[in-house]
Amino acid sequence: MDVFHQILAPTGSMWTTILLALVPLAALLFMLAVLRMTAWLATIIAGIVTIAIAVWGWHAPFGGSLKSYFYGGLQGAWTIDWITFWGLVIFNTLVLTGDFDRFKTWMVNQATVDVRIQTLMLAWAFGALLEGLVGFGYPWAVVVPILVGLGIVDLEAIRVAALANNAPVSYGALGSPVLALAAVTGLPLLGLSASIGDMVAVLALLPPFVLIYLVSGWDGLVEAWPLAIVGSLSYIIGQWPVAHYLGPYLPDLSGALVSFWVLFLFVKVWKPKNIRAFGGKIISEPQARAEAAQASQSTVQASQASVQASRSSGVESRTVSSSQQNRGSDGSLSAGGAFRAWLPYIILIIVVVLWTGPWSHLPGRYAHKWSVSAISSVTNKPLSSTFNFNPLSGGTSILASWILIVLFLHPSMETLKKVFARTFKQMWGALLVAFFIFAIAYIFVYAGMANSLAFGFSKVGWPFVILAPILGWIGVALSGSNTSTNAMFGPIQAVTGKLLGLPVLLTPTLNSLGAEVGKPIAPQTASVGVSTSRFVRSEGEVIRHNMAWTLIVLGYLILIGLLFYFVFPKEMSL
């Protein structure tokens, strides 16, 4: 059987070819953003449209198209679902045993009473930890009621949580967006992790300053700017080496934990001149102590609200009751309780590092590949749609971590049943989306539609460096997912950059970071994020409130992209 040769302009006109190639993407985004159709159904319909256009528009063989579609779906399920499922199982296990509430309360008790310190330790550091472990809008849902309990107005609390969540998104849900980008572009996983880490390091310099300004005004920022510097640099110190040398699974967790502890130690030796509440109001020490006591009570209520909202399965948890264990009379954790609260995260980090680091051969063991090939219309060389089944992949390391955590926590069988029931109910739609969005991406590449679009975009010239993050921003704003955005636009970005002679990692990296900064205006993310506030089903108001700062951060990202293109191109090369 002859190998399929892709056609660059099957309509005879490059412009009509580009418009035809955009139909599946436009249809998907229309169903998600305008019709507000559930994501798994929209991706199924968009897949049918994509196959039809591939076969009748680009003359791709029907059998090869179906194989490519199926292999893409399997790759999405194995690359993304296998990781995110076990990551959420870990999270739900901690919630239903009460250990997550214990850990959260311990963090709140360390954050002092100054709103600027609270914001950096909880929205910035703790939020990044949640993003790294779970993603899917959960950092908003958990952090927002805590911030409201600490006195931040709810709409502002949502914006603070959303903007604090910007930098960690590319490594969210244990690195799923980077894993997706590597899978659909064929670029080395560690190379992409490193290039994204470089840009995230520069991007992360800005948000702590913005967060302090939002909760305390200009006077509060001028007074506390060292906190912003320490908050950003400590996150970078924790995130950057892990992204460079260990891969995409743990940068958020390491960055979050290092940032939290460095801030914790820093405020022991330096604090702003005045104690400020939300809005920049200066408060006295006695008033601060009284508000701290009130915040402690609000934390318990916020904990109940966040657990209830994130518990879409409706099962009952014993979070509040079990969280009283290992506490002192003032509600603080004992040394043993603090150790128990931290140990699951320590287990996760150790297992994943040992399992997936450059020294480990486990992820590549017993790999089996199924693929279908075509001849590229751009390079005239073979390209393959491949499902690479490696049973000891990174997702299996998350499973191993969960088993050890269960052995340590000793949850009952009834609790474990609730964990899986809850996880499946929360994730079944997302599990389907990963399968079908990767299937679309694979058929898009196999048929040559991605090459046709990339060839058209390449006519823009080097200013495509400016357009690349905007495409990522638009993609996530409409789809709600960095992972989906990387799957949809990653191949186009990679081929366009290659045609333009840009550093090979630059445009895919900008796509992922563009998706990062668009998350505060993504309807799907907002719908989860507001679930613990009074803005349930009022996502539009939240998105409008977030828009201006999101555009500012997007402008900052465009400048970062130009910096790497003109000054540090080697950092974006293999």
pLDDT score of 150:
85
Domain ranges within the chain, ordered by starting residue: 99-332
Residue given tokens 């949580």 in the structure block: 161
- Provide the H-helix boundaries in 12-134: 14-33, 39-56, 62-76, 82-96, 99-110, 115-118, 127-133
The rounded distance, in Å, linking the Cα atoms of 177 and 483 is: 4
Q: Which residues, listed in sequence order, are joined to residue 542 by a DSSP beta bridge? A: none
The rounded distance, in Å, linking the Cα atoms of 191 and 488 is: 20
C-beta of residue 372 within 8 angstroms of C-beta of residue 385: yes
CB atoms within 10 A of CB 555: 12
Q: Which residues of 13-27 are buried (b: 16+ CB within 10 A; e: fewer)?
A: eeeebbebbebbbeb
Per-residue pLDDT of the chain (574 residues; tens, 9 = 90+): 578 999 999 999 999 999 999 999 899 888 887 887 888 899 999 999 999 999 999 999 999 999 999 999 999 999 889 998 999 999 999 999 999 988 888 888 887 789 999 999 999 999 999 999 888 778 888 898 889 888 898 889 999 999 998 889 999 989 999 999 999 999 999 999 999 999 999 999 999 999 999 999 999 999 999 999 999 999 999 999 999 999 999 999 999 999 999 999 999 999 999 999 999 999 876 776 666 566 555 554 554 544 454 444 333 333 333 444 455 444 456 777 778 888 999 999 999 999 988 888 888 887 888 999 999 999 899 999 999 999 998 899 999 999 999 999 999 999 999 999 999 988 898 889 889 999 999 999 999 999 999 999 999 999 999 999 999 999 888 777 899 899 989 999 999 999 999 999 999 999 999 999 999 988 777 777 777 677 776 777 888 889 999 999 999 999 999 999 999 999 999 8
pLDDT score of 523:
73
pLDDT score of 297:
56
Q: Which residues contact 481 (CB under 8 A, 6 or more apart)?
A: 39, 433, 522, 524
The residue among 511, 489, 524 whose CA lies nearest residue 39 is 524
Secondary structure (3-state) at 57: coil
pLDDT score of 166:
85
User: Using H for helix, E for strand and C for coil, what is the string for 336-405?
Assistant: HHHHHHHHHHHHHHHHHHHHHCCCCCHHHCCCEEEEEEEECCCCCCEEEEEEEECCCCHHHHHHHHHHHH
Beta strand 368-375 with 382-389 is: antiparallel
CB atoms within 10 A of CB 237: 15
C-beta of residue 56 within 8 angstroms of C-beta of residue 374: no
The rounded distance, in Å, linking the Cα atoms of 2 and 201 is: 47
The rounded distance, in Å, linking the Cα atoms of 72 and 450 is: 15
